[in-house]
Amino acid sequence: MRIFSGIKPTGPLHVGSYAGAISQWLAFQKDPASEGFFCVVDLHALTNNPSPEQLRRDIMETAAGYLAFGLHDARFPIFIQSHVPAHSELTWVLSTLAGVGELERMTQFKDKAGYAEILKARDRVTQRLEQTIEELDLLQAGSMGAHHRLVRDQHKEVIDGYRSLKEELDNLHALLTARDSRVGAGLLNYPVFMAADILLYDTDVVPVGEDQLQHVELARTLARRFNSRYGETFKLPRAKLVKGASRIMSLQDPKKKMSKSLGSAHYVGIFEPADIVRKKIMSAVTDSGSDIKYDPATKPALSNLITLMGVVTGKSASNIEHEYAHVGYAAFKEKLAEAFLAFFESVRRKKAELDKDPHHVLFELKAGAEKAREITNKKLRDAQYKIGLV
């Protein structure tokens, strides 16, 4: 079974990426029937427009993180995406098969481009405008033949409301147009690139967090479209999620997914200094009440902390509830911080060693890229031949 997955080097590896992706990668690596590649997807990181120094640092940090977890062996090489040119080349081919509308509908694109909020506001204003028009119609019907001042005043009030809503709508349109020129085209094409990453390897399974499901689905769609137009070429991949931990939430805002882009207090990095790890976990927001109870609907913040406790102890939510029932939030967070540091202790130690030996990290990455090039060159040539390139 062929596995492919990757992480974008846009900052420190955090516990969300561990829970959603790396924990699965480690399990596949232990399974003798699986083989595959783990990629540092540096070209995807460019969509954030990082500084060259920052990008170089993040690429090496992510790769060292992979090695610290022991994520490399003969069956599972690691490599850097930009070291394997076929990824970019197939992206171009696939982009000619993807629809702009299809890409614009991707949730992550809408969120990152800042469209989601604006579009939601636009829907709200449009709905209110429609209600206002109905009110106007009713008023008009009621005022037929009558010239009461009351009706005239009401009429004026509704018309004024209409004008201010219209103005709001115009402002939202202006905002959308301004975004259009600022949002890089790379952000839109991002999932096509991800499809190329996956399809080049005849991938069966893509172990990822929930936020990537839609992207893997697009990879399937593009593979199907290519195959039906040019003949059987790409395998249809499927995503694999971790049950119960495929969407770790932010420590500061449990309605949002834990991510590097929200800011440092929102995530806890696997390799951050111990005092920072403790501080971040102790400052995590909690819900009202004091019971340690797993209930995402009424206690989203605490449920997320219980999920994290499960990730680093292997215990079920109900066991955790039972064990910490009456300790209170502060003591629970203290226990979580200690369990986190204990669970990642050996990986953190290994990472500190690797930081002193960047040549070793580069050596592994180069060896991995060679293996990846062997596979991908063949696949790319096959696809190019099928579409008629000479």
Q: How far apart are CA 313 and CA 336, in angstroms?
A: 9
From candidates 89, 204, 211, 295, binder to ligand TYM by CB under 6 A: 211
- Whole-number minimum distance, CB 45 to ligand TYM, in Å? 8
Question: Which stretch, 13-21, 150-158, 363-371, 376-384, contacts ligand TYM (CB under 6 A)?
Answer: 13-21
What's the number of CA atoms in the CB half-sphere (13 Å) around residue 9?
A: 27
By the rule CB under 6 A, 4 interacts with ligand TYM: yes
Question: What is the number of the residue whose Cβ is closest to ligand TYM?
Answer: 20
Residue 260 annotated as catalytic: yes
Q: How far apart are CA 256 and CA 250, in angstroms?
A: 6
The residue (of 212 and 376) whose beta carbon lies closer to ligand TYM is 212
By the rule CB under 6 A, 252 interacts with ligand TYM: no
Q: Which of 257, 299, 335, 379 is catalytic?
A: 257
Residue 255 annotated as catalytic: no
Strand runs labelled E in the chain: 2-7, 35-40, 78-80, 205-207, 238-240
The radius of gyration of the chain from alpha carbons, rounded to an integer in Å, stands at 26
Question: Which stretch, 96-104, 159-167, 180-188, 192-200, contacts ligand TYM (CB under 6 A)?
Answer: 192-200
Instruction: Find, among 317, 319, 318, the residue nearest to 245 by Cα.
Output: 317
The residue (of 248 and 336) whose beta carbon lies closer to ligand TYM is 248
Q: At what angle do helices 115-143 and 149-182 cross, to 10 degrees?
A: 160
DSSP 292-344: ---BTTTBHHHHHHHHHHHHHH---HHHHHHHHTTS-HHHHHHHHHHHHHHHT
From candidates 59, 194, 200, 270, binder to ligand TYM by CB under 6 A: 194
Site for ligand TYM in 253-312 (CB under 6 A): 257-259
- Whole-number minimum distance, CB 340 to ligand TYM, in Å? 15
Q: Which of 260, 280, 299, 335 is catalytic?
A: 260
Question: Which stretch, 26-34, 97-105, 191-199, 345-353, contacts ligand TYM (CB under 6 A)?
Answer: 191-199
The residue (of 125 and 206) whose beta carbon lies closer to ligand TYM is 206
From candidates 198, 205, 281, 383, binder to ligand TYM by CB under 6 A: 198
Amino acid at 342: A
**What one-character DSSP code corresponds to residue 324?**
H
By the rule CB under 6 A, 84 interacts with ligand TYM: no
Residue 257 annotated as catalytic: yes
Cα–Cα distances in Å, from 290 out to 164, 284, 324, 339? 45, 14, 11, 20
- Whole-number minimum distance, CB 108 to ligand TYM, in Å? 8
From candidates 3, 11, 12, 19, binder to ligand TYM by CB under 6 A: 19
Question: Using an 8 Å Cβ cutoff, are 390 and 105 in contact?
Answer: no
Q: What is Dmax (Cα atoms) for the chain?
A: 89
Cα–Cα distances in Å, from 141 out to 34, 144, 153, 159? 72, 6, 15, 15
Q: How far apart are CA 262 and CA 386, in angstroms?
A: 43
Sheet holding 205-207, edge to edge: 78-80, 35-40, 2-7, 205-207, 238-240
By the rule CB under 6 A, 6 interacts with ligand TYM: yes
Site for ligand TYM in 27-66 (CB under 6 A): 41, 44
By the rule CB under 6 A, 237 interacts with ligand TYM: no
Question: Using an 8 Å Cβ cutoff, are 94 and 386 in contact?
Answer: no
Q: What residues are labeled active site?
A: 112, 257, 260
Binding site for ligand TYM (CB under 6 A): 4-8, 16-17, 19-21, 41, 44, 194, 197-198, 206, 208-209, 211-212, 246-248, 257-259
